[in-house]
Amino acid sequence: MSTVIQIAGPAKHIGFISTRFCGTDGVTLEARKWAQILQDMGHSCFWMAGLLDGPPENSHHAPLAFFGHPRVAQLQEKLFGVTSRTRAITDDIQDIKEQLKNELYRFIEKFQIEVLIPENILSIPMHVPMGLAMTEVIAETGLPTIAHHHDFAWERERFVVSAVNDYLRAAFPGAMPRTEHVVINSMAQKELARRCSLPSAIIPNVLDFETPPPGFDDYTRDLRQEIGLRDDDWFILQPTRVVQRKGIEHAVELVRRLKDPRAKLVVSHPAGDEGSAYMAMLNDRIADAGIDVRFIADRVGETRGINAEGRKVYTLMDVYPHADLVTYPSHYEGFGNAFLEAIYFGKPVVVNTYSVYARDIDPLGFKTVEMSHLVTREVVEQTREVLSNAALRQQWAKTNYDLGVKYFSYAVARRKLAARLANIFGEGV
């Protein structure tokens, strides 16, 4: 349920721009939430990306904007891990940049865009020509911009050694007039100020806590049976991709040490694009532990449906209500969508105290089982207690949900987005 919030000034045409608005990656999800909030305020939102699954009538598809485009991917491989580039590489960067500038101008003209929202393309250099094109278009048009930063180059080891430091200083991010910078955590805010002398506002990742979570329906009621779990099993959900930074080996160790045949670990997402070594290691850990782990990525999709084997596909939002516990042992997160989803659905969480959680989330008072890179005896005992004590789970769920409403609801993002627009246009918007 969405609430229409009337705005005092005229509605604006707002253009979201990125390399990809498709699927369930964090940038796409947060951009869609912002768009919903802005539309509820009366504005109109439009989309440009290299990979798009939005409505065609509101979208501009520019294939060269996708970081996975063969020409872009081939170019990017030559820019990092080395300290110099050839003139031919520079020419290639400039040629792609000019083509993307043309696409940006077409998008702006087509939908009469009045506000630009670059989503992470001025933050992390996954697509260097795209960031340069965006920066130059902002400079040339003078259009007001809200630059939404999810990850920065300095946060990723693979971008430390670079042949494009000149471009990184110019556009990731650039220092442009009429640009409001938005980050998702306080550490990013401090580093942006220290490294680039740029002020920024924090708008954390949010969920629609004002709307109660969905429960079971006729479609989802059989999910446990469909993935082979009994009603009395402990459904321990790991709701992330299988990549090293998610720390799934800690979830495996936790289930092993629970020493209870009811404990079943369920991993909802497939392996990521970071190679197969981590998955191989994880399979070895699972075999050594002798525990029951279900990988159900073939049964979880963006929408409900039927998979290639003719079996039902559920959404992640269908899976959460069935879980008894959520494991979130990540080593690093820009924020933590899975944490918010778990508390939205009233599920207890075992969380590793990654830096953003420790600094921005933990001080707010959430009730969780906390670990610090180690599955200690205390962590195991707290987990066993929360799985066995329904009253404790209910108490935690209420406390956490109330905190979610207070700190991470759409209302929070609405106030902060309204402030960004007011800074650009004045208090009437």
Domain-located, residue 215: no
Cα separation of 68 and 73, whole Å?
6
Contact 205, 340 (CB under 8 A): yes
Q: State both tokens at 193.
A: 């100020």
Residues 144 and 170 in one domain: yes
Residue range(s) defining the domain that contains residue 300: 223-407
Mean pLDDT of 295-309: 91
Domain-located, residue 129: yes
pLDDT in tens, 235-284: 999 999 898 989 999 999 999 999 999 999 999 988 866 668 999 999 99
- Residue 42 pLDDT exceeds 90: yes
Q: What are phi and psi of 183, to 5 degrees?
A: -120, 170
Residues 264 and 130 in one domain: no
DSSP 348-374: -EEEE--HHIIIIIGGGT---EEESSS
Indicate the DSSP class of residue 325: E
- Residue 22 pLDDT exceeds 60: yes
pLDDT confidence of residue 1: 46
Spell out the SS3 assignment of 112-126.
Answer: CCCEEEEECCCCCCC
Partners of 163 in beta bridges:
none
- Residue 347 pLDDT exceeds 90: yes
Domain-located, residue 419: yes
**Which residues make Cβ contacts (< 8 Å) with residue 124, sequence separation at least 6?**
150, 151, 152, 153, 155, 156, 159, 172
pLDDT confidence of residue 334: 85
Cα separation of 424 and 422, whole Å?
5
Indicate the DSSP class of residue 239: -
Other beta carbons less than 10 A from residue 419's beta carbon: 14
- Residue 23 pLDDT exceeds 90: no
Which among 49, 15, 207 is positioned nearest to 117, based on CA atoms? 15
Rounded to 10 degrees, what is the CA torsion of 323, 405, 46, 333? -60
Other beta carbons less than 10 A from residue 38's beta carbon: 26
Contact 195, 154 (CB under 8 A): yes
Mean pLDDT of 331-349: 93
Q: State both tokens at 426.
A: 């004045």
Residues 233 and 341 in one domain: yes
Residues 252 and 383 in one domain: yes
pLDDT confidence of residue 26: 83
DSSP 3-state assignment of 4? coil
Per the model's pLDDT, the better-predicted residue between 226 and 6 turns out to be 226
Residues 278 and 326 in one domain: yes
Residues 238 and 186 in one domain: no
This prediction's pTM: 0.89
Domain-located, residue 212: no
Cα separation of 20 and 27, whole Å?
8
Domain-located, residue 77: yes
- Residue 429 pLDDT exceeds 70: no
Residues 399 and 420 in one domain: no
Question: Which residue bears the tokens 């969905």?
Answer: 214
pLDDT confidence of residue 426: 81
C-alpha gyration radius of the chain: 22
Contact 319, 268 (CB under 8 A): yes
Q: State both tokens at 216.
A: 């079971």
Degrees (nearest 5) of the Cα angle 124, 206, 55?
75
pLDDT confidence of residue 273: 61
Q: What are phi and psi of 193, to 5 degrees?
A: -70, -45
Mean pLDDT of 185-204: 96
Q: State both tokens at 351.
A: 């969380």
pLDDT in tens, 142-162: 999 999 999 999 998 889 999
pLDDT confidence of residue 8: 46
Mean pLDDT of 188-205: 96
Cα separation of 351 and 333, whole Å?
12
Mean pLDDT of 304-325: 94
Residues 35 and 103 in one domain: yes
Tell me how far CA of residue 161 lies from CA of 77, 157, 164, in angstroms. Answer: 12, 8, 9
pLDDT confidence of residue 5: 52
Mean pLDDT of 207-217: 92
Domain-located, residue 3: no
Cα separation of 266 and 238, whole Å?
6
Residues 185 and 280 in one domain: no
Contact 304, 313 (CB under 8 A): yes
Residues 284 and 202 in one domain: no
Check which CATH number belongs to the domain holding 417 and give it. 3.40.50.2000
- Average pLDDT for the chain: 93
Please tell me the total count of domains within the chain: 2
- Residue 427 pLDDT exceeds 70: no
Q: State both tokens at 172.
A: 């990731």
Spell out the SS3 assignment of 330-350.
Answer: CCCCCCCHHHHHHHHCCCCEE
Domain-located, residue 158: yes
Residues 142 and 41 in one domain: yes
Question: Which residue bears the tokens 């305020």?
Answer: 41
Domain-located, residue 4: no
Residues 200 and 227 in one domain: no
pLDDT confidence of residue 224: 95
Residue 349's pLDDT band (boundaries 50, 70, 90)? very high
pLDDT in tens, 82-109: 999 999 999 999 999 999 999 999 999 9
